[in-house]
Structure 1
Amino acid sequence: MATYSPPISSLSAADDQRDQTAGLRILRQMALFVAVGYLAYAVVTIPAITASLAVMDTWWTALALPLVFGTGIMLGPLAWRASARRVKTATTVATAGYLIAIGSWWFGWNGQLLDGTDIWFSMFCGVAAIAAAIALRPGYAFAVLCIVVAATVTINHTVRTPEFNGPLLPDMAWAFAFSLIYFAAAVMAMRTAAILDSTRAQAYTATSEAAAAQARTAERLRFAQLTHDEVMTTLLAAARQDASVELAQQAHRALTALDESATTEVGACVSAADAVAQIRAATSAADPAVRFQSTADTAASGGPQYLLEAVRTIAAAAAEAVRNSRRHAGPAAGTWVSVTANQGRLCVEIVDDGVGFDPRRVPAERLGIAVSIRGRMAHLAGGAATIASRRAEGTRVTLEWSAH
């Protein structure tokens, strides 16, 4: 086998578990957008907050600031690492914090009026509505938008000196229209996220069903080959000639083959030679030009034994890796398959010297790696898959199974 060993960035099955779905990525981006909005308004509204101290009791301001800005800004750190459930919970808290602040405003107002300045929380009611769009269903989020717009505009008209107030309804309509643009964008973003995740889940289901159908087809083909090669041949020989030692041996081989074909229950094992043969057959069927080598440790009594389920899973994953190499590595690329069979351990490496890729940037809709290689090996007890690649430096896929 060629001594090709590219310096590569790898992505294992454990890394794959941390992959973000499209919906989670959009959710985190929207949460980060809201957090940045709250942070920006916390700076911009400092003069308005200072002015409001003349008309609001200190206890209310001390309570309202963390309720509004604290809960909103905390979405930033959570957007990087937290789960979807925690991010949605945090956006719900941020929405509730804003509603509590404006709902308790009356109790903190000392009756004085602002001279030409808006109350500070009225300047970004749309941000609270966007947080609601992330956390709640569209209908409930729209209700929050209507409540915060109506409440903040009404409070503004109440707390400002009358000469600075315009007509209430036009002011309310303008604030609603302005906030509605960003609110609608947030609702559409979350709807798109839900559609993407649903489509991705359907694609995974379809791929799994296709894999199951392929397995059934392969099993039917195996039995058809067994029937033709062993049973029918023996019966034809028996019909054409009298009983003989050769015919008895042929019949014995047919019965042995039938018995072996039935040992597919959990725990069935095959030898190292059979394991290597199955992997060779699967990878050669995927690409007849693949170069193959194997190393088997047969020092132990009777040679190594491997679970048939493990061998078939590795063979299928290796075949998918070879197909991927054939499709994407480039016309001039070579592909090598190396099998190492030790006591209680089976390792297959598929290496090519093609164009390579960045494993962390594989689109979610590309299921060959996620489902047919890493997903297949992840469902095998003792199995693991590592995919390592770098642009212009080739790809290495390592499939391992250990009995311990």
Structure 2
Amino acid sequence: MAATTAAAPRPPVTTPAEGPRRESTDHISRLVARLISAGYAVYLILLLPAVTSMAPRMDAWWTPVIVVVVYGSGLLPGALSFRRDTRPMRIASGVAAMAFLLAVFSWPLAWNGPPLPSGEILWLATFPGLASLAVVSTWPTWLMFAHLVIGCVAVQIVNFAAHEDAPRELLLPEIAFAIMFCTLFVGAAVMALRTGRVLDATTDSTHAAAAAAAARRARTVERERFDALIHDGVMSTLLAASRQGATPAVSRLATTTLRQLDALRDDQGTQEHFGGEEALSLLRAAATEVDEGVALRAERQDGAQTLTIPADTARALAAALAEALRNSMRHAGETATRSVEVAVARTGIAVLVADDGRGFDPTAVPAHRLGVSVSIHGRMRQLDGGFARIETAPGAGTRVHLAWSTS
């Protein structure tokens, strides 16, 4: 993590609220969208001769319009899958599914004949499952399978209608085969997405458990602080009074103990809220507990004295700061130097933990290593208004940004 002499970090003005985790689900959805678009591209190339040969049998408008609508909408989800926001990709997938049904149901309106030769298949009948697969991550499962059944039934009926000599007794077997064949691929995609959702839910519960453990540890620290005050202040005062009586020394000791008890009572009287200075003291204590020699610089910005922080939030910040320092001491190298900068403002508090050590590649961190994802990102994600970012690269040190904002 890299030492820095820059100004202390500024608390963010706003921090977007985070809902349930969707990383794994969105990743699988993107892969499915790209697979679907690749399938549409391959089918367009393979079926172009069939499309061209059937065009004279249709109204002049139908073939160019349907080819553009069907294949254009099918290629769109893959292109949109590279965007950060997956909503346009999901909308495009729904459009692709509906475009296929539109093509099938509009076919009788544009069909002019003559019938297709017995060895030629209506080109729409070759990929009904691909259109249903497009909405595997967009529509409810029952609706997606309903689309699959409707598409397979309709396209087989149209295909039989386009052949004058097609044996009608084979229509039901062909429909059944098409539904079963397409269900294999659609079902596999459904299970893959379900696995992604389970993984996201498991990760969320792991992070929540880590945050709860951090809160319990923070409460234990508070109890230890209270126990220490009882032992060092109250009991010492009572013992001195029993031995020395009402002496000036005992009076001063009693006054000091009462002041400490008042301060402790004031902290608890606001229903577990800290002021900016109390939070700063907690952060300083967490840093020095891990590394007594760490340099900590505090900046109090305008209105910092009016800031009020929930105690659990301050404790989570302190725990994440301590974990960042521990990671630095473990991995940055023996010669690395560390620094901590804290900025307190009217609307929030920000922390920067930096070192000039080895650094690392965040993408190369194994999935089972939860120090960063749970103890830092996980803790901050649980906070309403929490924020965490890690800047690092091999040989370039590491900078861990932590922040909490009221707005």
* TM-score bracket for the superposition, by shorter chain length: 0.7 to 0.9
Structure 1 SS opposite 2:359:
coil
What is the CA deviation profile of residues 199-225 of structure 1, one whole-angstrom value per residue up to 9, with x for unaligned ones? 122223222322322232222222122
Structure 2 SS opposite 1:247:
helix
Of 214-223 and 59-68, deviating more is 59-68
- Alignment pair present for 1:98 and 2:77: no
- After TM superposition, give the deviation of residue 21 of structure 1 in Å: 1.0
Partner of 1:283: 287
- After TM superposition, give the deviation of residue 253 of structure 1 in Å: 0.5
What is the CA deviation profile of residues 166-189 of structure 1, one whole-angstrom value per residue up to 9, with x for unaligned ones? 944554454444433322221112
Of 376-385 and 18-27, deviating more is 376-385
Structure 2 SS opposite 1:388:
strand
Of 307-316 and 180-189, deviating more is 307-316
The number of residue pairs the alignment matches comes to: 389
Aligned partner (choices 208, 213, 224) of residue 205 of structure 1: 208
CA separation in 2, counterparts of 1:223 and 1:154? Answer: 79
**Which amino acid letter does the alignment assign opposite residue 142 of structure 1?**
F
**Which amino acid letter does the alignment assign opposite residue 259 of structure 1?**
D
Aligned partner (choices 321, 326, 329) of residue 318 of structure 1: 321
Partner of 1:217: 220
CA separation in 2, counterparts of 1:346 and 1:14? Answer: 12
Of 159-168 and 112-121, deviating more is 159-168
State the identity as a percent.
Answer: 37
Could you state the TM-score of these two structures normalised by the residue count of structure 2?
0.78
- Alignment pair present for 1:248 and 2:251: yes
What is the CA deviation profile of residues 265-321 of structure 1, one whole-angstrom value per residue up to 9, with x for unaligned ones? 3885465xx777644431343x45x631245689x9xxx969574865543321021
Partner of 1:391: 394
- Alignment pair present for 1:180 and 2:169: no
With over 3 angstroms needed to count, the CA separation of the structure-2 counterparts of 1:386 and 1:179, relative to structure 1, is: closer
Of 125-134 and 390-399, deviating more is 390-399
Structure 1 SS opposite 2:25:
helix
Kept in 1, the 8 Å contact 2:18–2:381? The answer is: no
CA separation in 1, counterparts of 2:398 and 2:315? Answer: 23
Of 123-132 and 15-24, deviating more is 15-24
CA separation in 2, counterparts of 1:261 and 1:211? Answer: 21
**Which amino acid letter does the alignment assign opposite residue 58 of structure 2?**
M
Query: In the TM superposition, what are the counterparts of 1:74-85 in structure 2 within 5 Å?
Result: 74-81=76-83, 83-85=85-87
Kept in 1, the 8 Å contact 2:338–2:356? The answer is: no
- Alignment pair present for 1:110 and 2:112: yes
With over 3 angstroms needed to count, the CA separation of the structure-2 counterparts of 1:270 and 1:92, relative to structure 1, is: closer
- Alignment pair present for 1:71 and 2:73: yes
Of 66-75 and 369-378, deviating more is 369-378
Kept in 2, the 8 Å contact 1:291–1:337? The answer is: no
Kept in 2, the 8 Å contact 1:313–1:377? The answer is: yes
With over 3 angstroms needed to count, the CA separation of the structure-2 counterparts of 1:155 and 1:43, relative to structure 1, is: same
Structure 1 SS opposite 2:82:
helix
CA separation in 1, counterparts of 2:178 and 2:58? Answer: 23
Partner of 2:139: 136
Structure 2 SS opposite 1:156:
helix
Structure 2 SS opposite 1:391:
coil
CA separation in 2, counterparts of 1:216 and 1:185? Answer: 47
With over 3 angstroms needed to count, the CA separation of the structure-2 counterparts of 1:315 and 1:393, relative to structure 1, is: same
Unpaired runs of at least 5, structure 1:
6-11
Could you state the TM-score of these two structures normalised by the residue count of structure 1?
0.79
Query: In the TM superposition, what are the counterparts of 1:3-402 in structure 2 within 5 Å?
Result: 21-81=23-83, 83-115=85-117, 116-160=119-163, 162=165, 167-264=170-267, 265=270, 268-269=274-275, 278-285=282-289, 287-288=290-291, 291-295=293-297, 309=309, 312=315, 314-327=317-330, 329=331, 332=334, 334=336, 336-339=338-341, 348-352=351-355, 354-359=357-362, 368-370=371-373, 372-374=375-377, 385-399=388-402
CA separation in 1, counterparts of 2:260 and 2:169? Answer: 92
With over 3 angstroms needed to count, the CA separation of the structure-2 counterparts of 1:46 and 1:339, relative to structure 1, is: closer
CA separation in 2, counterparts of 1:330 and 1:348? Answer: 19
Kept in 2, the 8 Å contact 1:283–1:322? The answer is: yes
